[in-house]
Each structure stands twice: as C-alpha cells, then as structure tokens.
Amino acid sequence: MKKLLLSLSLCVLTSQAFASVKIEEELFVLGQKPEVLKELITAGSVEIDHVTSEGFEIYGRNGLSQYLDEKKIPYFDMKSVSKLAFAEYPSHAQITAKLQAAAAKNPSMMKLFSIGKSIKGKELWVMKISDNVNIDEVEPEFKYISSMHGDEITGREMTVSLIEEMAEKYGSNDELTELINNTEIYIMPSMNPDGSERKQRANANGTDLNRNFPDLKEANSAAGRELENQNVMKFQAERKFSLSANFHGGTIVANYPWDSTYDRHPLDGLVKELSLVYADLNPEMRNSSEFAGGITNGADWYVVKGGMQDWSCFFYNDLQITLEVSHTKYPSYSDIPDFYKSNRDSMVSFMKQVHRGAGFKMKRAGVSGTVRVKQLSPESKDLGSYAFNSSEFYKVLPDGEYAYVVTEKNKSPQEIRVSVESNKISSNGNFSVIE
C-alpha cells in the first residue's frame, strides 16, 4: 500500500513545472549503481546524491524503504545514525552570536545583514566583508554560501571560522588585507537553518533547496519556489557576483558546471582551472581515489536539475562551483578545526580568483545594455553576449587580451580593450571607465 501511495503522490509531483521531491526518507543504498533505480529516478520519484564506489544517497517519500526492501536492495537509514553527531554543534542563535561578535570586532570592514527569513522565521545571515563596508564600491564581487542541505554542516562551521579569522587578522595579515581592500566579499554560512536545526537535508517544507532553483530551460522566476530560494534569488539579482561557490558534505571533491546537461560550459577550461585552484591546496581532495585531481564535471558525476550552481552561472554571469568538503556530513564537532585547517588556504585562494577578470564602470548612472566579449589572444574567440545594468559589468575570464563591445539601448556600440592576468589583484579592480 505504501508503495502504491508513493507512486501516486509522485505522479502528482512530476506534473508540476519545477516540483521538487518531497523528502521524508533519507537512505544510503549500499554497493549498487543508480541504474537499479532508474525507473524511480526517471519518473522524478526520488533524488540521488553523492554517487561513489560504495553506493549513493537516495531521498523520497515515506514508502521508499519498503520499496527497497521488496527489491532486496541493501541500504541504511541515514537519519538513524545522525542524531548524536549534531549534539555538540552550535544552534542558530549561537551562530548568530558568533557572526555578531565578528562584525563588532571590526565594523569598518564587516557588516552583518539578513536577506530574509527561513520558513520557520530564522534570519538568513550574510556577512559583507570589504575595506569600506558601508559603501558599494566598484570592485569584483565574490560569494560563498553553505549548508543549503541542512545536514551538511561542515561548510557552515568553516565559513564562520573564515569570517572570524578575517575579522581578527585584517590589517596584520598581508594576504587577507589585500584581498579585503580590493574585493567585496559576501559569505552566507547557512541557507537552510531550519534543516540544520531538524538535522535533515530538506527545509521545513521537506524540499531539497538545491533542486528548487530555475533550471536552464525554465524562466528565471522566483514565483512558487521555497522561501529560502526566493530570498537568495532576490539577493543575487541585486548584486553583481562574478565568482562564487557553495559548500556541501558527503564526499570530498570540487564539482564544476554543468550539473544539468552533458554539454560543456562555454568556459569549460576555466571552470576546471578554478576547481583545481581549490583542490590543489586541499591534500585529501587533490589525492582523491574517486575523482582525478579532486575535481569532477557535475553531470558526468550525476545529473542535478534545479541546482544553484547552474542557475548562478547561466542567468547571472556568476561562475560557481560546488565544494564537497567532508565524507561525513556531520563529523565530530571537535574535528572542525582540522577541517578548517585543511580548507583554509583553498578558501582564500579561490576568493582571490575573482580578480582573474576585467570589467568597466560608466560615469553615467543607471545605464543598461549588452556586452559582447571577444577573446583576442592567446586565441581569437567570440565568447558571446552578456547583459549589464547599473552602469557596471565584470567577468572572470581565462588569462588573455579581450575586446568588450558595449552596446547601450539606442546607441552605437563602443569597444574597449581589457587584459586579464591570474594571480594579480589590481588596486582598481581591473575596471575601465567609460564616459
């Protein structure tokens, strides 16, 4: 009977435009390939995640475990082994207090604000970090977001540790100081505080937030999506992020776009290089036995529809990768300092890559239009057109020389030449000024 109810309820789900699977059971299938559940996956009845040689995670409605029992497919209930691991972790209120303390330590370069609330009313905190934090400067904009899966908690703790270190060492650590002085950095430690409080993957509505963003073939509309997604979408639309990453747990790898199609990203070589920047400084990631060099193309690993990574890249010119940073989603809290130590240099180095780009700022306010990006060297290539607004544009690109053909509405195009060089932070953010 449960199996029948599962099938019927899932038929309803698949009839919706961008329906996410309702998550009521969280299981790990042992020693099997996803093909054994191809029928359920194809029908949109379940979600899978973290496919490895040992097995894979599977999420769905009540009745899923009975279905696996009847098929004699071995599995274990992930929720049954997770409860004790969470006991030592800070609550949302304690995380809030840590962020408030960091902002108070250096208010000239840290500003804590909320982009909205979760389903259960928890603030979705973001820390802005920049030398003139109360001014919207013409600088490259970078973003980290963690824990949209509430039970993948390691990234939340690491991003809080990064914020605390930046607050403590600004002015004394040359690398961090230079980065902060020339970048607008935004860090969101927890996109799904309700899920973390409940020790579950989904939000309070039972929805996987990383399947609830617009897919490449959908309209970029927030209507009808989960509240947390709506708030992140509004936040993204108001900024000009050009590089970002989101943190997960369950394995250790840097995952690059696309997730939802086997087509290659137009800047496939660059997103691989950016992923390697992170992986190379994390010994366990770099030396992975599952993933060559510690990186993987998303769809080659497993296909994800409605993920943040593809949505960010496709709709907003914001190159994004997905970082899986711990085999155990909720390791012992006493191990968090070691996780931060293993990832700290990678996190800082990846942020610096936002300066591997070029942009322009118009003297006239409120201008919008399009930019055609043409690579001139080391090879000649048309990289396509991108929209810009608020008189500003910036794009992360491979090293080389470029022509930006800027077209305002009802005006003749004008061309500017820009140069991109990695491992270089420019005092003016590598922005050209257009009259």
In angstroms, rounded to a whole number, what is the distance separating the alpha carbons of residues 278 and 285?
A: 9
User: What number is the average pLDDT over the span 127-154?
Assistant: 96
Q: Which amino acid is at 187?
A: I
- E strand or H helix at 123: strand 123-129
- CATH class given for the domain over 86-355: alpha beta
Q: Which residues contact 180 (CB under 8 A, 6 or more apart)?
A: 109, 129, 130, 131, 166, 170
User: What number is the average pLDDT over the span 220-228?
Assistant: 97
Of residues 215, 227, 201, 256, the one with CA closest to residue 48: 201
How would CATH label the architecture of 2-81? 2-Layer Sandwich (3.30)
* Eight-state DSSP code of residue 95: H
Of 6-10, 19-23, 430-434, the one with minimum mean pLDDT is 6-10
Work out the number of other CB atoms within 10 angstroms of the CB of residue 397.
21
Q: What is the pLDDT of residue 1?
A: 28
Work out the number of other CB atoms within 10 angstroms of the CB of residue 207.
24
* Eight-state DSSP code of residue 389: B
Q: What is the model's pTM? A: 0.89
184-188 and 414-420 as β-strands: parallel, antiparallel, unpaired?
Answer: unpaired
Cis peptide before 311 (omega within 30 of 0): no
Q: Are 211 and 19 in contact (CB under 8 A)?
A: no
Of 81 and 164, the structure prediction assigns the larger pLDDT to 164
Sheet containing strand 369-377, strands side by side: 381-388, 369-377, 400-408, 414-420
Dump the DSSP string for 218-273.
S----TTS-HHHHHHHHHHHHS-EEEEEEEE-SSEEEEES-SS-SSPPTTHHHHHH
Look at residue 427 and tell me whether its pLDDT is greater than 90. no
Work out the number of other CB atoms within 10 angstroms of the CB of residue 2.
14
How would CATH label the architecture of 357-434? Sandwich (2.60)
Look at residue 4 and tell me whether its pLDDT is greater than 60. no
Could you tell me what percent of the chain has a pLDDT over 90? 76
In angstroms, rounded to a whole number, what is the distance separating the alpha carbons of residues 87 and 409?
A: 57
Q: What is the pLDDT of residue 16?
A: 33
Q: What is the pLDDT of residue 423?
A: 83
In angstroms, rounded to a whole number, what is the distance separating the alpha carbons of residues 265 and 274?
A: 13
Q: What is the pLDDT of residue 38?
A: 73
Cis peptide before 90 (omega within 30 of 0): no
**Domain residue ranges in the chain:** 2-81, 86-355, 357-434
pLDDT-based confidence at 82, cuts 50/70/90?
Answer: low
Scored b (16 or more CB within 10 A) or e, 68-86 reads beeeebebeebeeebeebb
- Could you tell me the two tokens for 170? 């600004």
Q: What is the pLDDT of residue 315?
A: 96
pLDDT-based confidence at 32, cuts 50/70/90?
Answer: low
pLDDT-based confidence at 81, cuts 50/70/90?
Answer: low
- Could you tell me the two tokens for 367? 């201008």
In angstroms, rounded to a whole number, what is the distance separating the alpha carbons of residues 400 and 419?
A: 6
Q: What is the pLDDT of residue 21?
A: 83
- Could you tell me the two tokens for 430? 């590598």
Distance of CA 255 to CAs 143, 212, 296, 330, Å? 16, 19, 5, 20
In angstroms, rounded to a whole number, what is the distance separating the alpha carbons of residues 255 and 49?
A: 13
Q: Which amino acid is at 4?
A: L
Could you tell me what percent of the chain has a pLDDT over 70? 93
Scored b (16 or more CB within 10 A) or e, 34-56 reads beebeebbeebbbbbbbbeeebb
Question: Using one digit for the tens of pLDDT, what is the confidence trace for 336-378?
Answer: 999 999 999 999 999 999 999 999 999 999 999 999 999 999 9
324 is known as an active-site residue: yes
Question: Using one digit for the tens of pLDDT, what is the confidence trace for 161-177?
Answer: 999 999 999 999 999 99
pLDDT-based confidence at 17, cuts 50/70/90?
Answer: very low
Catalytic residue among 164, 324, 408, 421: 324
Q: What is the pLDDT of residue 33?
A: 66
Q: What is the pLDDT of residue 164?
A: 97
